[in-house]
Structure 1
Amino acid sequence: MFDFITNLIDTMGAFGVGIVMFLENVFPPIPSELIMPLAGFNAAEGKLSLAAVFLWGTAGSVLGAYLWYEIGRRVGRERLQRFIGQYGVWLTLSQDDIRRAIDWFDRHDKAATFFGRMIPGVRTLISVPAGISGMGLVRFLIYTTAGSALWNVALIASGFLLQANYERVVDYLNPITNLIIGAIVIAYVYRVIRQIRERRHT
């Protein structure tokens, strides 16, 4: 995974950072915690523009978040509940999970959108209840952009400030990333099996 990210950024520069950040928001196993520090390190080395890395990375994040917002808006609460009732086991979600998530979002919409952009595993899915709940697009984009920009600044700065020390970390990142993805797959399979067993006993 890390090799794929590195090659794309080396080939396409800051625009490649935007592409990978978009994909990170569509496919959560690609972690921004790897992408943006690497981009910051490349900027420190003079290979990329710091401003371009920030702008393209944030644009990719916001565009990916908007995709999920639009899916939530078009699907709507009722159709989502029906879908989860039929296929939720494969998403390891129940209708109660969806109801609780939407109710919670309705109470904390602005804060959830802003801070959710900085929480791994949450920043992708937080856009769905925003769309379902009918949060205005302008408000959504403001809080999503602000949260994404702040998170990206922190990650870019970490890679920029590490500089020479970052090369020592790189050798460990690819196997660690693969282990994380493997752990996510194992956890997913476990949750699916558990939900199937629970449904059989209800």
Structure 2
Amino acid sequence: MPTSSWAVSAAAAADGGSGDYGGFIGWVLGLMTALGEPGVGVALFIETFFPPLPSEAVLPSAGFLAYDGQMNVWLAIAWATAGALVGGWGFYAVGRLLGRERTMRLVSRTPLLEEEDFLKAEKFFSRFGGTAVLVGRCVPVVRSFISIPAGIARMPLFKFSLYTIIGSAVWNTIWIGLGFVFGPAVEPVLSRWSSVLSNAVLAVIGLLVLWFVVVRVRRLLRARRPDGTG
């Protein structure tokens, strides 16, 4: 199958962000084009800790690359699942090592992480137990944070890993499969909206950095006041 203009544009994005796909989205597409299947795993690992990069946008792109002959669809699914598992281990370790209260404080003070999202994942885990890890990997927002309450509850690592692999494999197969099956239909969507999505990501990052600075400045000012009031 001849190389499509989409793949050429993605390769150009890897070199300098040029081509039909702009900004951050173009960088992600270029990453997968440059690294092949392992690039999908890297993108999914980043998505675990960087919510503005949704897997629903990354995985269909990998499916299209597989359709276009740029990568093997099954290896793409395997690497995506591996990336999600390693990211899940990271959050699991945080919950297990720090415990609930310290984890809550860490989440509340970390840009890009929301305490509300952590509480949703915790409630989901409390309701369904270990099965929440398997099911939660297919639930937006919860899918990234579900590993934290699993670590806090000291869920056996083997069981956690098995459930994460199964749940992530199902999620990745669905979205990569859609990109593979619909093939060229993915291209005009990315061409039209890549710059918009990239600008939205940059706007979110800018607002989060501003929020982080404001919170830190207010905390320092409050600490310097004798009465400790804000």
TM-score class normalised by the smaller sequence: 0.7 to 0.9
Stretch of structure 1 that moved more, 25-34 or 126-135: 25-34
1:148-189 Cα deviation digits (max 9, x unpaired):
000001101110111122211121231342354367558868
Say if 1:184 and 1:175 are closer, same or farther in 2 by CA, change over 3 A: same
In the alignment, what sits opposite 2:34? 11
Distance (Å, rounded) in 1 between the aligned partners of 2:72 and 2:52? 26
Q: How many residues align?
A: 195
1:130 Cα deviation from its structure 2 partner: 0.8
1:79 Cα deviation from its structure 2 partner: 3.0
Report the secondary structure of 1:124's partner residue: helix
Say if 1:41 and 1:85 are closer, same or farther in 2 by CA, change over 3 A: closer
Distance (Å, rounded) in 2 between the aligned partners of 1:9 and 1:138? 29
Distance (Å, rounded) in 1 between the aligned partners of 2:141 and 2:79? 21
* Aligned residue runs from structure 1 range 1-202, under 5 A: 1-80=24-103, 83=105, 87=109, 93=115, 102=122, 105-178=125-198, 180-181=200-201, 184=204
1:92 Cα deviation from its structure 2 partner: 5.2
Indicate the structure whose relative CO is greater, using CA pairs within 8 Å and at least 6 residues apart.
Answer: 1
Contact 1:40 1:156 in 2 (8 A): yes
Which structure 1 segments of 5+ residues have no match? none
Contact 1:33 1:155 in 2 (8 A): yes
Contact 1:117 1:148 in 2 (8 A): yes
* Aligned-partner residue type, residue 138 of structure 2: M
Percent pairwise identity: 34
Distance (Å, rounded) in 2 between the aligned partners of 1:60 and 1:47? 19
1:69 Cα deviation from its structure 2 partner: 0.4
Contact 2:62 2:179 in 1 (8 A): yes
Instruction: Calculate the TM-score normalised by the size of structure 1.
Output: 0.80
Aligned-CA RMSD value: 3.3
Say if 1:73 and 1:157 are closer, same or farther in 2 by CA, change over 3 A: same
Distance (Å, rounded) in 1 between the aligned partners of 2:27 and 2:81? 20
Stretch of structure 1 that moved more, 4-13 or 170-179: 170-179
Distance (Å, rounded) in 1 between the aligned partners of 2:111 and 2:73? 43
Which structure 2 segments of 5+ residues have no match? 1-23, 219-227
1:76-129 Cα deviation digits (max 9, x unpaired):
124335x369948996538xx977864652332223212221222221111111
Say if 1:164 and 1:102 are closer, same or farther in 2 by CA, change over 3 A: closer
Say if 1:128 and 1:150 are closer, same or farther in 2 by CA, change over 3 A: same
Say if 1:22 and 1:103 are closer, same or farther in 2 by CA, change over 3 A: closer
- From the CA coordinates, give the structure whose radius of gyration is larger: 2
Say if 1:89 and 1:34 are closer, same or farther in 2 by CA, change over 3 A: closer
Distance (Å, rounded) in 2 between the aligned partners of 1:134 and 1:156? 32
